[in-house]
C-alpha cells in the first residue's frame, strides 16, 4: 500500500505533474549546468595560465642567471 500525500500517491511522476515543482527542477538543472560549465572553463584557464607561466620562466631564467649584477653606484 502506497502512502498518500494530499490525496495523491507519493510517486516521483506525480511530483513532476505540479507546475511549480517542474519549473523549480528545470531551473535547478540549468543552474547546475551553468555552474559546471563555469568550473570547466575556470580550470582550463588555470591550466593555460600555468603553462604560460612555466614557459615564461623557462624563457627568462637563462637571461636572469647569465646577467651580471649591476654595481651599487651604477644607475644604468
**What string of pLDDT tens digits covers the 76 residues of the chain?**
445 555 555 677 788 788 999 999 999 999 999 999 999 999 999 999 999 998 888 888 776 666 666 667 655 5
70 found inside a domain: no
If phi > 0 it is left, if psi is from -120 to 50 it is alpha, else beta; for residue 75 that is: alpha
Q: Name the DSSP class of 69.
A: P
1 found inside a domain: no
58 found inside a domain: yes
Label residues 25-45 b or e (16+ Cβ within 10 Å = b).
Answer: eeeeeeeeeeeeeeeeeeeee
pLDDT at 60: 84
- Asked if residue 2 lies in contact with residue 11, where contact means CB atoms within 8 angstroms, the answer is yes
pLDDT at 62: 73
69 found inside a domain: no
Structural domain boundaries enclosing 46: 9-64
pLDDT at 74: 58
Structurally, how many domains does the chain consist of?
1
Locate 31 and state its grid cell. 543552474
Amino acid at each position: 500500500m502506497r502512502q498518500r500525500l494530499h490525496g495523491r500517491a507519493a510517486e516521483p511522476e506525480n511530483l513532476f505533474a505540479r507546475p511549480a515543482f517542474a519549473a523549480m527542477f528545470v531551473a535547478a538543472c540549468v543552474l547546475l549546468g551553468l555552474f559546471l560549465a563555469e568550473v570547466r572553463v575556470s580550470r582550463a584557464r588555470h591550466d593555460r595560465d600555468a603553462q604560460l607561466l612555466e614557459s615564461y620562466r623557462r624563457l627568462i631564467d637563462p637571461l636572469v642567471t647569465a646577467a651580471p649584477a649591476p654595481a651599487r653606484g651604477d644607475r644604468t
